[in-house]
Structure 1
Amino acid sequence: MKRLSTLAIAAALACAAGASFAAEPVIGLITKTETNPFFVKMKEGAAAAAKAKGAKLLSGAGKTDGDNAGQVTAMENMIAAGAKTILITPSDSKAIIPAIKKAQAQGVMVIALDSPTDPAEATDALFATDNYKAGVLIGQYAKAALGGKTPVIATLDLFPGHPVGAQRHNGFLQGYGLKSFDAKNNELAKPAEVVCMADSFGDRAKGQTGMENCLQKNPNINVVYTINEPAAAGAYNALKAAGKEKDVLIVSVDGGCDGIKDASGGKIAATSQQYPLRMASMGVEAGVEYAKTGKKVSGYTDTGVTLIAAKSIAGVDSKDAKTGLDLCWGKK
């Protein structure tokens, strides 16, 4: 009887171990918000990749861009639910680090998507656009499109101190040939040509308000850089209400399907297209590999960027709106 009991226990333990090994990998995705089209598409991409790879996806987000507490709570809940890999687009690049370290101490691999932490080495890996290059591309285009006119620039930024916001802003100025900072500096350069700067938080309504305020400061603005296409849409609404939409050049970053439609319709002159579906699928694949083999990814992987322009300009390498629609969000 005792031997049978021992064998039964051993068999049960073996079954439990086998079930644990065979259990589907649990991967968490935490985005900055659930409403920004970029993050909506990222979530869709992660869900599709998880289904294809036989993994379970948990998702969460902050209430608004900058909501670190909401992201921390989501991370804690995912760890409690068994997630061994967490993909995150950090809202606050510094404040999230203690939560990341706590997760890593429990054996969780943490991969940043789209936005790095500060320092970037706080996560195991980063899959993202080269945001500085994205800014440089639209800066070069804006300068060529404006010709010999003196630029009077408004920037609708993310919010102070965020690496992505700084990289895109400073890259834009660098591409335009204006005084700027390098890609490692999280401050926002403000050369004399920039007459107004406003924090949009990547939001359409805040972008519109920011543009309205900038027009009050200087009605002669002729170039507007925006952190993303929702902010660009808000800027366009403000310019149209002021009767200035045909006199001002708007450039942006994202390359989302709606943004490319805005470009083809003349609302945005050019945008740097990034690929959230690619980021999400790569993150999920890395998470599944970690669950199977224990092998972690590391370092930065550039997920690509393409300049999409409503009109081509000699000397500036760009793709047209049709190509942009074919590629929007990385669906091809």
Structure 2
Amino acid sequence: MFKKFLSVALVGVMVASMTACGGSTSTGASAAPAEKAEAVSEAPAEEAPAKPEAESEAASEGAASTDEAISAVAADTEGLDVKNLTLAYVPTTMNNPFWSAMMGGIKDEMKALGMDPETQLVTVDADSDQAKMNNFVYDLINQKVDAVILAPMDTTAVTEALQACADAKIPVINVDTPVDRNDLVESIVASDNYTAGVLCAQDMLEKLDPGSKVYIMNQPSGAACVQREQGFRDTVGDTFEIVGTSDTEGDTATTLPVAEDAITADADLGAFFCINDMGALGCVQAAAAAGRNDILIYGVDGNPDFMGYVKDGSATASAAQQPSVIGSTAVDEAINAINGKTVDKEVVVPVELITGENISNYDISDWQ
């Protein structure tokens, strides 16, 4: 398992790239206790491709220097009786091991702070329904929870629930998918999804010949998915021929027939780039059925259920997220917001590419 680390952006830098995608997955166990997040310097800028000019200009206008922007996040409990607090966890859905792993990080950090998650954490399952999520939030307000850790299904439709929390003076920590009205949340904690696409693209550029055919499985409705695809496209440029793009919602069953058709249509198809591991799994299944073990297949998440395919070579790589670190960091930010202490407006949790070449360095039985 690679060292847990994160960077804290004190201004509005990288919000658009700090989101993650949904998609149906098999159920999984909660993550093992997360290591405390440790701050390190980001990779040199020249290692990643330049972002669009407008985005670069915006970053330069508002960004703090690298040294100023990177620090460890920790809860400041001075003068606060944490045993009398109640936190709420409102994920997009609990039918995905990513969210279970994040909840594991939340519980572990609560325990580390002397809290009892069995009695001080309220968890709801919106089942990927924003209207249902909003109703849960209204109930949580009536229960007088002290803070809400929330990942929206719809970044716009969640606004009324966020406004209700603001009116009730209940701080919201926005995880995974940044909401439209970030003025209504105390902090945004999420993965660097643009870089996830960049890492997959860089690896593909090393392994696939120029001019090769590539098919993209995306999900335009998810901001994270859009950023992952953008990072991939910006990096590969016109090196490859993108022969098709399909919205398969990050779902294995939906992706499978699309991948089968793509393989049938192009006998010389070279690779699939998928916005998450469960979509990539559909491509793995299609390639296996067609006897095409030469096709490169990339996913994003670092889902333990997918890592076995990377290990045996059925899949090429996955840009791994750290959901437990996102969860533990969200707890720290929630405590600081409740206690009137400094809260980091944005926290970017890095991703790392796991390939067949480096997989032995990781504990693939669990999330990173």
Does TM-score exceed 0.5, indicating one fold?
yes
Residues 336 and 343 in structure 2, CA contact (< 8 A), matched pair in contact too: no
Distance (Å, rounded) in 2 between the aligned partners of 1:170 and 1:103: 33
Counterpart of 2:216 in structure 1 is 155
Task: Identify the match of residue 109 of structure 1 among 160, 167, 171.
Answer: 171
Offset at residue 201 of structure 1 (A): 2.3
Code of the aligned partner of 2:91:
T
Query: Relative CO higher for 1 or 2, CA cutoff 8 Å, sep ≥ 6?
Result: 2
Code of the aligned partner of 2:174:
A
2:157 counterpart SS class: coil
**Are 2:244 and 1:193 equivalent residues in the alignment?**
no
Instruction: Please say which structure displays the higher CA radius of gyration.
Output: 1
Counterpart of 1:211 in structure 2 is 259
Code of the aligned partner of 2:247:
D
Task: Identify the match of residue 277 of structure 2 among 229, 234, 241.
Answer: 229
Code of the aligned partner of 1:324:
Y
Code of the aligned partner of 1:261:
G
Distance (Å, rounded) in 2 between the aligned partners of 1:231 and 1:42: 20
- Normalised by the length of structure 1, the TM-score is 0.78
1:258 counterpart SS class: helix
**Are 2:351 and 1:305 equivalent residues in the alignment?**
yes
Judged with a 3 Å threshold, the aligned counterparts in structure 2 of structure 1 residues 124 and 310 are, in CA distance, closer, same or farther, namely same
% identical aligned pairs:
25
Offset at residue 166 of structure 1 (A): 0.6
Code of the aligned partner of 2:362:
G
Judged with a 3 Å threshold, the aligned counterparts in structure 2 of structure 1 residues 124 and 88 are, in CA distance, closer, same or farther, namely same
- Farther off after superposition, 39-48 or 127-136: 39-48
Residues 261 and 321 in structure 1, CA contact (< 8 A), matched pair in contact too: no
Distance (Å, rounded) in 2 between the aligned partners of 1:286 and 1:82: 19
- Normalised by the length of structure 2, the TM-score is 0.71
- Farther off after superposition, 42-51 or 126-135: 42-51
Task: Identify the match of residue 227 of structure 2 among 167, 188, 203.
Answer: 167
1:61 counterpart SS class: coil
Offset at residue 89 of structure 1 (A): 1.9
Task: Identify the match of residue 257 of structure 1 among 293, 298, 304.
Answer: 304
Distance (Å, rounded) in 2 between the aligned partners of 1:77 and 1:24: 19
Judged with a 3 Å threshold, the aligned counterparts in structure 2 of structure 1 residues 239 and 111 are, in CA distance, closer, same or farther, namely same
Counterpart of 2:148 in structure 1 is 86
Distance (Å, rounded) in 2 between the aligned partners of 1:321 and 1:143: 19
Task: Identify the match of residue 118 of structure 1 among 180, 184, 188.
Answer: 180
Counterpart of 2:86 in structure 1 is 26
Q: Deviation string for 1:125-174 (max 9, x for gaps)?
A: 111111101110101111111134x232211113x242101100110112
Q: How many residues align?
A: 285
Offset at residue 209 of structure 1 (A): 3.3
2:173 counterpart SS class: strand
Task: Identify the match of residue 100 of structure 1 among 152, 158, 162.
Answer: 162
Offset at residue 200 of structure 1 (A): 2.6
In structure 2, runs of 5+ residues without a counterpart are 1-79
1:147 counterpart SS class: coil
**Are 2:123 and 1:59 equivalent residues in the alignment?**
yes
Code of the aligned partner of 1:141:
D
Offset at residue 63 of structure 1 (A): 1.8
Q: Which has the higher helix share?
A: 1
Offset at residue 299 of structure 1 (A): 1.8
Q: Deviation string for 1:203-248 (max 9, x for gaps)?
A: 222222332343455454321111111111122112212222x121
Offset at residue 327 of structure 1 (A): 9.4
